[in-house]
């Protein structure tokens, strides 16, 4: 069953980091997977343009849970600008790759983080150059 997943994916899946919600979050990214119907929520806490805390909740497969866990780890402590540069591909790479059929799950994690930052920018009235959100089609 675990054949297609790297050890790193399984490790994050078995011990996901930063699970939960942030009560007074500064931004929340709620994204859904158009492919299979999964749901991912990313919460962020921002201080001095830095992601002080990142948490997630995910309803999805093993890859979806592992990528959510991974992205929270990658994003924590980064400036907003840096965090926005984390791409869909970066998350999969950090997990030593994902089976091709599971790439869309890692897309969801990156999109969730970006959506949370966007939500924060909107709420706080700050302006920032947002990366163009790739569509699922572009990445298959």
Contact assessment for residue 102 and residue 63, using Cβ atoms and an 8 Å cutoff = yes
Other residues' Cβ atoms within 10 Å of the Cβ of residue 138: 9
54 binds another protein per the rule CB under 8 A = no
Report, in Å, the least distance between residue 62 CB and ligand FES.
7
Active site residue 61: no
Q: Categorise residue 50: left if φ over 0, alpha if ψ from -120 to 50, beta otherwise.
A: beta
Interaction residues for another protein, span 96-125 (CB under 8 A): 101
Interaction residues for ligand FES, span 64-123 (CB under 6 A): 64, 102, 105
How many Å apart are CA 91 and CA 88, to the nearest integer?
6
27 binds ligand FES per the rule CB under 6 A = no
Active site residue 36: yes
8 CA to centre of own chain: 16
Binding mask 10-49 for another protein (x = CB under 8 A): x--xx-x--xx---------x----xxxxxxx--------
**52-83 in b/e burial notation, b at 16+ Cβ within 10 A?**
ebbbbebebbbbbbbbbbbbbebbbebebeeb
Contact assessment for residue 68 and residue 56, using Cβ atoms and an 8 Å cutoff = yes
Binding mask 36-75 for ligand FES (x = CB under 6 A): x-x---------------------xx-xx-----------
Residues with active-site annotation: 36, 105
Residues at the interface with another protein (CB under 8 A): 1-2, 10, 13-14, 16, 19-20, 30, 35-41, 57-62, 64-65, 101
């Amino acid at each position: 069953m675990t054949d297609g997943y790297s050890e790193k994916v399984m490790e994050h899946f078995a011990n996901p980091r930063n699970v939960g919600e942030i009560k007074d979050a500064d931004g929340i990214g709620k994204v859904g997977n158009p492919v299979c119907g999964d749901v991912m929520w990313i919460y962020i806490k921002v201080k001095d343009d830095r992601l002080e805390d990142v948490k997630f909740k995910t309803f999805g497969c093993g890859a979806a849970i592992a990528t959510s866990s991974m992205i929270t780890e990658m994003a924590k402590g980064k400036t907003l600008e840096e965090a926005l540069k984390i791409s869909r591909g970066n998350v999969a790479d950090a997990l030593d790759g994902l089976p091709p059929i599971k790439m869309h799950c890692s897309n969801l994690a990156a999109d969730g983080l970006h959506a949370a930052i966007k939500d924060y920018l909107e709420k706080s009235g700050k302006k920032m150059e947002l990366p163009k959100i790739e569509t699922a089609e572009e990445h298959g």
